[in-house]
Amino acid sequence: MVEPNRTSDQRLANLRERLTHVPHLPGVYIHKSADGKVLYVGKAKNLQNRLRSYFTGLDRHTPKTRALVARVADFEVMVVDNENESLLLENNLIKHHRPPYNILLRDDKTYPYLKVTLEEEWPRVLQTRKRKNDGGAYFGPYSNAAELQATQSVIQRFFPLVKCTPNVFRTVSRPCNYHSIRRCLGPCKIAVEKQQYKDLVERVLALLSGKTHDLSQKIKLDMAAAAQAMNFEKAAELRDQLRALDKLAQQQSVTFVPGFNADVIDFAWSSSAVSVYFAIVRDGKLIGGNSHVIKEGLEKIVELSEDIQTENVSSDAAAKSEFVLQVVGQFYATHELPSRIFLPSASGVLTDDSSKSLQLLLTSLEDDRSKRQNRVMTDVQLCLHSRPDSAKDLKGAQKKLFTEAFAGLCDMVRENAKTKLQDVLNADDVAHRRMLAVQTMLTLPRLPHWIECYDISTFQGGSTVASGVVFRNGQPAKNEYRKYTIREVAGQDDFASLREVMRRRFREERRHEIPDLLLIDGGEPQIREVGWLLKSLGLDSVPLFGIAKSRTVRNFRDKSISASAERIVCPHRNSAGELVPDGETETKILRNASPEFQLMTQIRNEAHRFAVSFHRKKRDGRSLRSLLSEISGLGPKRRKKLLLEFGNVEKISEASMEELIEKAGLPSAVAQNVIDFFRAKKNEKSDAQ
């Protein structure tokens, strides 16, 4: 591993020297940072040639590759016998390490999932925007919010599962209103058979998986059995569930033959982005879609084309095919595999070699999952839009209807991919105009694709924190946001806090990561302080600016209220462009509603919001801990146990002696201290009133 204080030139020289020992063979390579973190995993037909392309000709690299190379401090290679082995090894390493520069398909945080919490004793159904490996069953993401709400509404109404969280479940004194209206079985306080509840959960899983045909048949049989046993209340519940399934089935825009499980995929391409749309069909019904836009898409194709040589197709077409292979392979590394996957019929989407490699990768993924889940392996087939082989067993009108419905689905997927791409391109066009306006206003040497903004938040010098937000290409990059707890400053001192934050931001291992624009929420005093700090670190060429808030001015002699404009504070620089902190600053006015105003104020407001929310969370947590710490006999472990069992201080204050002893395991003397403490607090409050 390379030491963090090695200079950039020394680092590159060392990496280039190591290249002479890399073989001209196929294999997988791993780029690592100075602290050993895996940054990127790639495969190549010729490892030495591919690695050499990273560390030579740096000016020709794309911005993303330049950022990667700036962080690479070490690499390792693994030689394999053939390309198929390298594909499988690359996929396994990406799945294990999740390198930041490998992720083509980002987590779909804007679209929600429905989750069945199988990891809980009494599973429930809830919405979530993050998919975790926690044992729960996830369905989605749902791009149509109305579809998600309709599905969840049916589940909540006709499948009486638990609605409350485990903490509430443990602390309630009686069943809630959901039990009263027969939308929850009430296992919190009522004896419920585990098998009965498990059957309900399995039906919900079948519904969300699109297996409504088999589920309907089972419900019909159970309903007939309940009626035969003269259990008419149970039969009525099953009848309602059956009607709900029929209603959901009628809402499907596309319906195929029962048992048809497939994903239909299509791509839309542009010079700056690639859009891919996955339509999900289960048990003959379209149950959802999944869209991704990869802005680094064609940059990746350019990089791949440098490493691909083939006699049958052009290097660009082969690289495009390789890109499709990686996107589809990465998607199914974390999603359910259907029995059929349909890809566009257009030539060049997948070459014969890439198609064979993708088939091998998908088969390997399914084999691994079937072994881990102890189930029969699904035979995954790659097909083309033009050949829906599921229709071959159908005849006459049924075959015609299926073929027409499938053609309509393929058209819909293609249009969705195009529409999503166009939406992103339009947003990118707006963002580009804003960045161009900022560059012109501040006379920056290049377009500010990478902007960082910092803000301090405190209240009377307590719980002082700072935020650092990052915008990439004019859009928030929330995975790069940073929170800072101020450690070295006592009391309220915004200048000292800013100095601490900048020292930590530009620490040795991140000193080479210079944004195109560094914003500080503040005016001339703050800019001078940060300027001196950057100069002391040898970073006086950093593009530093301040953004000062508008101020409201009230004239007490009349009713008029005036406000100053939003302002940009530009530090003084010498002829070489280096900061001169004690020089005279320049102030530029942000014109209301201008493109530069929209981008700069959006970034500043986002930094302020992020800092304030972090400060409030930290302050509230400290207040909570300090209140419980006043009680004699409550150490850190007992305070944590109380909060875990009761959820909040209000419920702790209302707990009885028996509940404190039974749930939190407190000794009777400590439990009495808790009761006496909150009783005294209530008396103080009533006396004050």
Q: What is the pLDDT of residues 393-415, one digit of tens each?
A: 566 676 777 777 788 888 888 88
Region 632-653 average pLDDT: 80
pLDDT at 545: 97
The secondary structure of residue 136, as a DSSP letter, is -
The token pair that represents 167 in the structure block = 């903490």
CB 332 within 8 A of CB 463: no
Q: Is the pLDDT of residue 487 over 50?
A: yes
Q: What pLDDT score was predicted for residue 623? A: 54
**506 with 541: CB under 8 angstroms?**
no
Q: What DSSP string runs through 639-675?
A: HHHHHHHHSSHHHHHH--HHHHHHHH---HHHHHHHH
674 has a pLDDT exceeding 70: yes
pLDDT of residue 299 exceeding 90, the answer is no
- Is it the case that residue 60 has pLDDT exceeding 80? no
**401: Cα separation from own chain's centroid:** 39
pLDDT at 560: 66
Residue 472 — pLDDT band, cuts 50, 70, 90?
A: very high
pLDDT of residue 599: 96
Q: CA-CA distance, 155 to 177, in Å (whole number)?
A: 17
Upstream peptide bond of 141 is cis (omega within 30 degrees of 0): yes
Q: Which residues contact 329 (CB under 8 A, 6 or more apart)?
A: 87, 91, 358, 361, 362, 365
d(CA 478, CA 106): 12
Report for 86-90, 486-490, 590-594: range of highest mean pLDDT? 590-594
Q: Where are the alpha helices (DSSP H) in 113-211?
A: 145-158, 166-171, 177-180, 194-208
Q: Which amino acid is at 516?
A: D
Give the pLDDT of residue 570.
95
If pLDDT is split at 50, 70 and 90, which confidence band does 260 have? confident
DSSP 9: H
CA distances from 560 to 332, 428, 554, 556 (A): 62, 40, 7, 8
Q: Is the pLDDT of residue 530 over 90?
A: yes
Q: Which domains does the chain have, with CATH numbers?
A: 8-97 (3.40.1440.10), 113-250 (no CATH), 262-422 (3.30.420), 450-618 (3.30.420.340), 630-688 (1.10.150)
Instruction: Answer yes or no: are the C-beta atoms of 275 and 267 closer than 8 Å.
Output: yes
- Let me know the angle formed at the C-alpha of 254 by 251 and 255, rounded to the nearest 5 degrees: 90
User: What element of type H or E holds 83?
Assistant: helix 83-97
Average the pLDDT over 628-638 and give the result: 81
Which are the contacts of 101, defined by CB distance < 8 A and separation ≥ 6? 31, 39, 40, 64, 68
Q: Report the greatest alpha carbon distance in the chain.
A: 94
Mean pLDDT of 260-285: 84
Would you say residue 102 has pLDDT above 60?
Answer: yes
- DSSP H or E stretch at residue 451: strand 450-459
Give percent of the chain above pLDDT 70: 82
Task: Check residue 167 and give its pLDDT.
Answer: 78
Note the Cα 329 to chain centre separation in Å.
19
Count Cβ atoms below 10 Å from residue 210 Cβ, excluding itself: 23
Which amino acid, 575? S
Q: Provide the pLDDT for residue 389.
A: 62
Q: Give the Å distances, CA to CA, from 175 to 172, 189, 406, 654.
A: 7, 6, 48, 18
pLDDT of residue 146: 67
Task: Please state, in angstroms and as integers, the Cα–Cα distance from residue 306 to each residue in 312, 318, 319, following that order.
Answer: 16, 11, 9
Model confidence pLDDT, tens digit, residues 417-462: 898 889 888 888 999 999 999 999 999 999 999 999 999 988 665 6
Q: For the residues 380-390, what does the mean pLDDT come to?
A: 74
Half-sphere exposure of 228 (CA within 13 A, CB side): 6
Q: Is pTM beyond 0.75 here?
A: no
Residue 126 pLDDT > 70, yes or no?
yes
Alpha-carbon span 200 to 291, nearest angstrom = 31
User: Do 653 and 678 form a contact (C-beta atoms < 8 A)?
Assistant: yes
How do strand 262-269 and strand 381-384 relate by DSSP bridges?
unpaired
When mean pLDDT is compared across 240-254, 354-368, 586-600, the lowest value belongs to 240-254
Helices (H) and strands (E) in the chain, counts: 21, 21
Please give the structure tokens belonging to residue 144. 């149509």
CA distance 447 to 473: 9
Dihedral pair phi/psi, residue 125, rounded to 5°: -115, 130
Q: Which of 112-121, 340-349, 576-585, 637-646 has the highest mean pLDDT?
A: 576-585
Closest CA to 141 of 131, 132, 151: 131
- Tokens of residue 541, six digits: 């060429």
The one-character DSSP state at 384 is: E
User: pLDDT band for position 297 (50/70/90)?
Assistant: very low
Find the range with the poorest average confidence among 57-66, 392-401, 649-658: 392-401
Mean pLDDT over all residues of the chain?
81
Segment 552-565 mean pLDDT: 67
Find the DSSP H helices in 453-493: none
Beta strands 274-282 and 125-128: pairing type?
unpaired
CB proximity list for 146: less than 8 A, separation 6 or greater: none
Q: What is the DSSP letter of 479?
A: G
Phi, psi angles (nearest 5°) of residue 365:
-60, -45
pLDDT for residue 118 is more than 70? yes
